[in-house]
Amino acid sequence: MPKNPPGSMQHHLRHRLNVRAKERWPQLGGVQVRFRAGFAYVAGELPGEEEPLPLCRLRFTGFLHTWGFALYLASSGKYEDNFLPTGLPVGSPEEALDCAGGLYLDDPTP
Q: In this predicted model, what pLDDT tens digit does every residue of 21-72 receive, in sequence order? A: 999 999 999 999 999 999 999 999 999 999 999 999 999 999 889 999 999 9
Residue 110 domain flag: no
Q: Tell me which residue range forms the domain holding 63.
A: 7-104
Residue 53 domain flag: yes
pTM (2 d.p.) = 0.93
In sequence order, what are the residues at sequence separation of 6 or more whose Cβ sits closer than 8 angstroms to the Cβ of residue 11?
A: none
- Please, is 25 exposed, middle or buried when counting C-beta atoms within 10 Å of its C-beta (0-12, 13-18, 19+)? buried
Q: How far is CA 5 from CA 26, 49, 59, in A?
A: 28, 29, 10
Give the pLDDT mean for 16-20.
98
pLDDT band at 104 (very low <50, low <70, confident <90, very high): very high
CA distance 6 to 86: 27
pLDDT in the model for residue 108 = 58
Give the pLDDT mean for 92-106.
94
The tally of domains found in the chain comes to 1
